[in-house]
């Protein structure tokens, strides 16, 4: 699915960027691996979550990075609640 959604960065201070599935997938895998999920489990979870997020993005030409994080976290919570918590708290813990 070729998406053309623009992601508005937080605060609107930086330019928008196109949605990149691989970037989202890598961040989901990192969250899963951080809570000791197996590599295969992390990959499968990331694919499922990315599919759901892409479906959500399909009708939206522009979303904020915060909205993207909330929707991603909501879907990740279905498959791996611990990873979802870590994903939600990313900005707070760094």
In what helix (H) or strand (E) does residue 91 lie, and over which residues does it extend? helix 90-93
Decide if 58 is inside a domain: yes
Predicted local distance difference test score (pLDDT) of residue 14: 73
Q: 50: Cβ–Cβ under 8 A, 6 or more apart, which residues?
A: 21, 24, 25, 28
Distance CA 62, CA 45 (A): 25
Decide if 28 is inside a domain: yes
- Quick: pLDDT tens for 4-49: 799 998 776 778 999 999 999 999 999 999 999 999 999 999 999 9
Decide if 1 is inside a domain: no
Full domain range(s) for residue 40: 17-93
Decide if 62 is inside a domain: yes
Query: 7: burial class by Cβ within 10 Å (0-12, 13-18, 19+)?
Result: buried
- Quick: pLDDT tens for 38-72: 999 999 999 999 999 999 999 999 999 999 999 99
Predicted local distance difference test score (pLDDT) of residue 13: 72
Decide if 2 is inside a domain: no
Cβ neighbours, 10 Å, residue 58: 11
Decide if 6 is inside a domain: no
In what helix (H) or strand (E) does residue 62 lie, and over which residues does it extend? strand 62-64
Decide if 47 is inside a domain: yes
């Amino acid at each position: 699915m070729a998406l053309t959604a623009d992601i508005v960065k937080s605060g609107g201070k930086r330019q928008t960027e196109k949605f990149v599935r691989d970037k989202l997938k890598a961040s989901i895998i990192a969250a899963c691996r951080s809570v000791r999920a197996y590599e295969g489990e992390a990959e499968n979870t990331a694919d499922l979550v990315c599919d759901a997020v892409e479906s959500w993005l399909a009708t939206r030409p522009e979303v904020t990075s915060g909205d993207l994080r909330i929707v991603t976290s909501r879907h990740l919570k279905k498959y791996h609640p611990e990873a979802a918590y870590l994903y939600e708290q990313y900005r707070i813990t760094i």
